[in-house]
């Protein structure tokens, strides 16, 4: 029988153990608030930040404040997005520490109607618009205002982020999933842009028939919000300044002289980047102004040799694709009807590169195919291509609206996946290497810029043969239409995203664009297996865990009982009264 002293000692030991356990738990929680660790077991690594994002966060010199206005009770999809935003910003904070501060706020919370109007106006001036959401409560529908935006303040500037930005035409679940996948890129890109001491400079090259005016209104009004944009008449300048991070050569239709091509060549050799949008044939919808048919002839730009030297050839053909946009045609009864127009392909982005990863289809006008040429030290990446059912017609091509009267047959389209946009990366060699005319050499000497026959460092350029890739439409009713909007079907395409992604890749060396490659996949249940295996998985998830706990408890009680019985027998044996 235990003595009172023995009982007191046991009680003291139990109390000490409880105090020690409590102290350990407190210390663990304190350490957990400063140090975090996790294991990302998802296939697409959705919870793991990319290395460029981590590098950006580690090198932040100042504090970035993120105000997320998506706060409150929402339907399940928005609630899920809200939690995903919180988790993503927490992961940013784990890397950047106190350099990231975020808070969720509802601008309208506790405000009067008059105050709400003033707040909405102030936020609208910052690019943040109030939106309405239809909610259901006890079979009654109501409209709730909310702000699916975040505002990033960093380096003395601020930038709004639209959190629900997703390609049109997708279901609500797919849109939320896409928005989740883009969160890292949107927040990292905002911090990266705001942290730049100087915005990148881009020049829009003119002087060779490049379009200006209403068709380029959207492009030339969008880019100044991100870049320092200039227009540069190549025929009126003696040099392309290296201060330009990139230049855009958009759909030239006139011949480039030797000196003009030398200016572009030497700009590339000095490390400049070029976004080429080159059409080899003269084919536009304006060609139908006087006749229902025309012959597509070659453009006399004389850029073929340059592009060939850099690693690509824009072919003198027109792409025809069964995956295409329709064109209205007036029938005999005077009513218009939409018919598939194979010369207006809907182009597919490849899935491997961050420029086009998670991007929707790109709308195209008359388009040429591109061949890649073997060039030592040049890596070629296909960014856009046609569908499985496509073909090309060599120049000269007769284009007639009467083609819409004939049915399309898949067996006639035998050239699948024709490239129409290519990224070139590597060490480029000058077109004029070993054959520079003396007058050109004297011109370079007068500018105190020695001729460069090869790039000093690896460089990059993008060649696009998509007709009117970055042009916008116009209607007398609605005026200037957004880039990528097709007025005959009311659909939006990813042309503007493609333009911005191309320029970002060419001008930004941080690599943040890599975060666009992250893909959060929506994995739906197999309804056939679900129906056939319902009972099996119910047993696995319900019955087996309960049975396991009961078996463990039975063994635990059995061995505990045996242990105390043995101990009791030993005490009886040692007892003097036994």
Could you tell me the sign of the dihedral formed by the alpha carbons of 85, 90, 92, 97, in that order?
positive
Confidence of residue 578 (pLDDT cuts 50, 70, 90): very low
Q: What is the DSSP string of 64-130?
A: EEEEE---S---HHHHHHHHHHHHHHHHHHHHHGGGEEEEE--TTTT--HHHHHHHHHHHHHTT---
Residues 209, 328, single domain; the answer is yes
Q: pLDDT per residue over 265-285, tens digit each? A: 999 999 999 999 999 998 888
- Residue 106 burial (C-beta neighbours within 10 Å; 0-12, 13-18, 19+): middle
Residues 114, 70, single domain; the answer is yes
Residues 146, 210, single domain; the answer is no
- Over range 37-45, report the average pLDDT: 57
Residues 309, 419, single domain; the answer is yes
Residue 206: inside a domain, yes or no?
yes
Residue 41: inside a domain, yes or no?
no
Q: Which residues contact 547 (CB under 8 A, 6 or more apart)?
A: none
Residue 517: inside a domain, yes or no?
no
Range of the domain at 479: 201-507
Residues 255, 337, single domain; the answer is yes
Residue 185: inside a domain, yes or no?
yes
Residue 334: inside a domain, yes or no?
yes
285-299, 308-322, 444-458, range with greatest mean pLDDT: 308-322
Q: pLDDT per residue over 217-244, tens digit each? A: 999 999 998 999 999 999 999 889 999 9
Q: pLDDT exceeding 90 applies to what percent of the chain?
A: 44
Q: Please provide residue 546's backbone torsions phi and psi, each rounded to the nearest 5 degrees.
A: -65, -45
pLDDT at 40 over 90: no
- Residue 465 burial (C-beta neighbours within 10 Å; 0-12, 13-18, 19+): buried
Residues 162, 142, single domain; the answer is yes
pLDDT at 11 over 60: yes
More confident residue, 438 or 194: 194
Q: Which of 452, 455, 424 is nearest to 262 (CA)?
A: 452
- Residue 47 burial (C-beta neighbours within 10 Å; 0-12, 13-18, 19+): middle
Q: Which of 247, 164, 251 is nearest to 204 (CA)?
A: 247
Torsion, Cα of 546, 551, 556, 561 (10° steps) = 120
| Tally of domains in the chain | 3
Residues 119, 79, single domain; the answer is yes
Residue 23: inside a domain, yes or no?
no
Query: Which has the minimum average pLDDT: 293-302, 516-525, 531-540, 552-561?
Result: 516-525
Looking at 507, 538, 567, the residue that finishes a domain is: 507
Residues 444, 379, single domain; the answer is yes
Residues 278, 299, single domain; the answer is yes
Q: Which residues contact 151 (CB under 8 A, 6 or more apart)?
A: 66, 67, 69, 126, 128, 158, 159, 160, 161
Q: Which of 354, 320, 369, 362 is nearest to 495 (CA)?
A: 362
Contacts 24+ apart (CB under 8 A), 473-481: 474/214, 474/215, 480/214, 480/217, 480/218, 481/218
- Over range 361-375, report the average pLDDT: 93
- Over range 58-70, report the average pLDDT: 92
Residues 109, 185, single domain; the answer is yes
Looking at 154, 172, 193, the residue that finishes a domain is: 193
Give the tokens for residue 140. Answer: 């009654």
Residue 4: inside a domain, yes or no?
no
Looking at 450, 476, 507, the residue that finishes a domain is: 507
Q: pLDDT per residue over 474-483, tens digit each? A: 888 888 999 9
Q: Which pLDDT belongs to residue 542? A: 84
Residues 315, 414, single domain; the answer is yes
CATH at 428: 3.40.50
Q: Which pLDDT belongs to residue 385? A: 96
Residues 94, 113, single domain; the answer is yes
CATH at 124: 3.40.30
Q: Which pLDDT belongs to residue 500? A: 94
Q: Which pLDDT belongs to residue 50? A: 87
Residue 230: inside a domain, yes or no?
yes
């Amino acid at each position: 029988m235990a003595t009172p002293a023995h009982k007191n000692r046991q009680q003291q030991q139990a109390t000490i153990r409880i105090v020690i356990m409590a102290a350990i738990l407190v210390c663990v929680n304190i350490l957990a608030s400063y140090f975090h660790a996790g294991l990302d077991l998802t296939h697409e690594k959705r919870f793991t930040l990319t290395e460029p994002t981590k590098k950006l966060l580690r090198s932040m010199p100042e504090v970035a404040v993120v105000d997320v206005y998506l706060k409150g009770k929402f339907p399940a999809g928005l609630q899920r997005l809200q939690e995903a935003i919180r988790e993503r910003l927490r992961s940013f904070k784990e890397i950047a520490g106190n350099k990231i501060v975020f808070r969720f706020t509802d601008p309208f919370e506790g405000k009067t109607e008059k105050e709400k109007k003033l707040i909405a106006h102030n936020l609208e001036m910052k690019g943040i618009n109030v939106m309405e959401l239809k909610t259901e409560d006890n079979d009654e529908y109501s409209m709730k205002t909310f702000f699916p935006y975040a505002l990033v303040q960093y380096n003395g500037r601020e930038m709004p982020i639209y959190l629900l930005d997703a390609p049109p035409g997708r279901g609500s679940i797919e849109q939320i999933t896409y928005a989740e996948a883009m969160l890292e890129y949107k927040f990292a890109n905002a911090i990266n842009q705001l942290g730049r001491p100087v915005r990148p400079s881009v020049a829009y090259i003119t002087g060779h028939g490049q379009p200006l005016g209403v068709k380029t209104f959207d492009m030339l009004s969008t880019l100044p919000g991100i870049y320092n944009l200039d227009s540069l008449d190549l025929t009126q300048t003696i040099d392309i300044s290296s201060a330009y991070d990139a230049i855009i050569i958009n759909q030239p239709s006139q011949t480039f002289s030797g000196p003009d091509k030398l200016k572009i060549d030497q700009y590339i050799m000095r490390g400049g980047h070029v976004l080429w949008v080159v059409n080899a044939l003269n084919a536009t919808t304006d060609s139908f102004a006087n006749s229902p048919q025309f012959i597509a002839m070659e453009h006399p730009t004389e850029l073929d040799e340059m592009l060939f030297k850099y690693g690509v050839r824009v072919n003198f053909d027109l792409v025809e694709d069964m995956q295409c946009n329709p064109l209205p045609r007036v029938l005999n009864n005077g009513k218009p009807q939409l018919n598939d127009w194979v010369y207006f392909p809907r182009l597919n982005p490849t899935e491997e590169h961050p420029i086009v990863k998670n991007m929707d289809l790109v709308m195209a006008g008359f388009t040429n195919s591109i061949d890649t040429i073997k060039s030592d030290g040049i890596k070629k990446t296909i960014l856009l291509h046609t569908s499985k059912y496509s073909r090309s017609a060599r120049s000269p091509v007769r284009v007639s609206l009467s083609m819409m009267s004939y049915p399309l047959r898949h067996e006639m389209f035998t050239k699948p996946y024709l490239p129409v946009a290519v990224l070139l990366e590597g060490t480029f060699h000058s077109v004029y290497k070993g054959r520079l005319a003396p007058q050109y050499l004297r011109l370079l000497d007068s500018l105190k810029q020695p001729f460069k026959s090869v790039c000093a460092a690896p460089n990059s350029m993008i060649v696009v043969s998509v007709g009117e890739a970055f042009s916008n439409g116009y209607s007398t009713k609605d005026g200037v239409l957004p880039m990528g909007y097709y007025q005959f079907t009311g659909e939006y395409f990813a042309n503007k995203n493609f333009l911005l992604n191309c320029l970002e890749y060419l001008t930004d060396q941080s690599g943040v664009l890599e975060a666009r490659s992250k893909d959060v996949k929506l994995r739906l249940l197999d309804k056939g297996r679900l129906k056939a295996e319902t009972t099996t998985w119910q047993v696995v998830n319900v019955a087996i865990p309960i049975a396991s706990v009961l078996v463990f408890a039975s063994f635990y009680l059995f061995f505990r009982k045996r242990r105390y019985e043995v101990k009791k027998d030993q005490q009886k044996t040692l007892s003097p009264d036994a």
